[in-house]
Amino acid sequence: MEQYIIKGGKRLEGEVVINGAKNAALGIIAAALMTDEQVTIENIPDVLDINVLLDALTEIGAIVERKDRHTVKIVGRIQTTKVDNESMRKMRGSYYLIGALLGKCNNAQVPLPGGCNIGSRPIEQHIKGFKALGADVDISFGMVNASAEKLKGGHIFFDIVSVGATINVMLAAALAEGQTIIENCAKEPHIVDVANFLNSMGANIKGAGTDVIRIKGVQKLHGSTYSIIPDQIEAGTFMLAAAATGGNVTIKNVIPKHLEAITAKLVEIGVEVTEEDDAVRVNAHKRLGNTQIKTLVYPGFPTDMQPQMTTSLATCEGTSIITESIFENRFKYVDELTKMGANIKVEGNTAIINGVEKLTGATVCAPDLRAGAALVIAGMVAEGFTVVEHVEYIERGYESFEKKLQGIGAIIDKFDESDNRGIQKFRLKCG
């Protein structure tokens, strides 16, 4: 098992470049299967979840060729619609293979998705959408089995706003016969990105980014070359790392518009944020203030930034309140922050954060992807050494996390937990 060791107390300074959006890439890679022609996808992040999905594509017969670290060519001439890859059960994005395979082949057998344990994560809205397109869907032996004689356009009104269900039904409907209207859609930037990619393959999708998406099914999709948008959550994580450490960091290759909810909160607590065309500069030069936040669907404050924000507020002045309205189990990391001296009380879906003067280093365990990143931020703020265990969660969604942080001055390194000599050397070197 690998762990990060961090010596805290260093102000982050310099420039960091953001990779492509993981959650867009998951949908886009699945969509690439929907044509037999070659698709080239650029700006793919080199993270665990993406690599697991690419392996699953290879296992069902697609040709996947990595041109370089961030460019992949996919030829989706698959041999089976049954995805039997064990790793798929552990990740969330596997569910996009249902929509993609159902759309292309009228059949899909895909393991039930797993993903970070941040609350109950049902998929009944996805199933409702597939059924509205004429598919039969059942779940047995841990697999989702979906099939149809022929998919036909339908009218779907989602009961709840779901990123996954919106993308999944959009995928299937792209090749269904006739028109599909999806209402009460999610509006996240990665939904627009997946729609743009499908359109670049010849699909006819309008309205992505609003709450009504209209799709005119086409008979066939063709090859395309497409570059994925920057990862708003990776960017936001570095913004908060800069703010929490009192740093001055320019975060490059971002779309500032996608970061507005985060920027607004940072400005409110006293951080200076400067927007450029494709960069934001975050400069924090005084003790920050408190705020109240409720996580919401886009364009609201993203649930995927909640742990990083809570952590950053732990050392701000006064009392802040964060309400988590998307996932019910997303405060598990708070016990770990408490070990570091934070004063945070969780009541139901609300965290009451009483700002403390300082955090102190401790050994903590990453419970999931974003909470893991948040604990790294805590380690960079804290006095002394912090060990963050279970780095594998963080690597599901952050590329070269420790290297990028080193690049802006953090004292952090990654070690196998059995590497006593390496760990000892690092601790001695940092003093």
* Residue selected from 15, 65, 124, 276 as contacting ligand EPU according to rule CB under 6 A: 124
Active site residue 365: no
Binding part of the chain for ligand EPU, among 40-48, 118-126, 197-205, 312-320 by CB under 6 A, reads 118-126
Query: From the candidates 105, 116, 185, 430, which is the catalytic residue?
Result: 116
Q: 71-75 and 63-68: which strand pairing?
A: antiparallel
Q: Decide if 66 contacts 46 (C-beta within 8 A).
A: no
Q: 343-347 and 319-323: which strand pairing?
A: unpaired
d(C-alpha 364, C-alpha 377), whole Å: 12
| Closest distance of CB 10 from ligand EPU, Å | 26
Adjacency order of strands within the sheet including 143-147: 107-111, 143-147, 136-140
Q: Does 258 bind ligand EPU (CB under 6 A)?
A: no
Q: What is the distance, to the nearest Å, from the Cα of residue 379 to the centroid of all Cα atoms in its chain?
A: 22
d(C-alpha 169, C-alpha 324), whole Å: 26
Q: Does 348 bind ligand EPU (CB under 6 A)?
A: no
* Residue selected from 85, 162, 232, 245 as contacting ligand EPU according to rule CB under 6 A: 162
Q: What is the distance, to the nearest Å, from the Cα of residue 187 to the centroid of all Cα atoms in its chain?
A: 15
Measured from the CB atom, the residue of 160 and 352 that comes closer to ligand EPU is 160
Q: Does 122 bind ligand EPU (CB under 6 A)?
A: yes
* Residue selected from 5, 108, 163, 410 as contacting ligand EPU according to rule CB under 6 A: 163
Q: Does 240 bind ligand EPU (CB under 6 A)?
A: no
Binding part of the chain for ligand EPU, among 63-71, 119-127, 199-207, 413-421 by CB under 6 A, reads 119-127
| Closest distance of CB 321 from ligand EPU, Å | 20
Q: Does 187 bind ligand EPU (CB under 6 A)?
A: no
Q: Does 224 bind ligand EPU (CB under 6 A)?
A: no
Q: Decide if 123 contacts 113 (C-beta within 8 A).
A: yes
Q: 143-147 and 107-111: which strand pairing?
A: antiparallel
**Token pair for 331:** 């405060």
Q: What is the dihedral of CA 84, 87, 93, 97, to 10 degrees?
A: -10
The answer to whether the bond into 111 is cis (omega within 30° of 0) is no
CA geometry: angle 81, 87, 93, nearest 5 deg: 70
Measured from the CB atom, the residue of 193 and 304 that comes closer to ligand EPU is 304
| Closest distance of CB 126 from ligand EPU, Å | 5
Q: Does 131 bind ligand EPU (CB under 6 A)?
A: no
Alpha-carbon dihedral sign for residues 377, 379, 382, 383:
negative
* Residue selected from 19, 23, 237, 291 as contacting ligand EPU according to rule CB under 6 A: 23
**Which residue is closest to ligand EPU by CB?**
164
Measured from the CB atom, the residue of 8 and 236 that comes closer to ligand EPU is 236
Q: 319-323 and 292-294: which strand pairing?
A: parallel
Q: Does 307 bind ligand EPU (CB under 6 A)?
A: no
Site residues for ligand EPU per CB under 6 A: 23, 26, 92-93, 116, 120-126, 160, 162-165, 186, 303-304, 326-327, 369-370, 397
Q: Which residues are catalytic?
A: 116
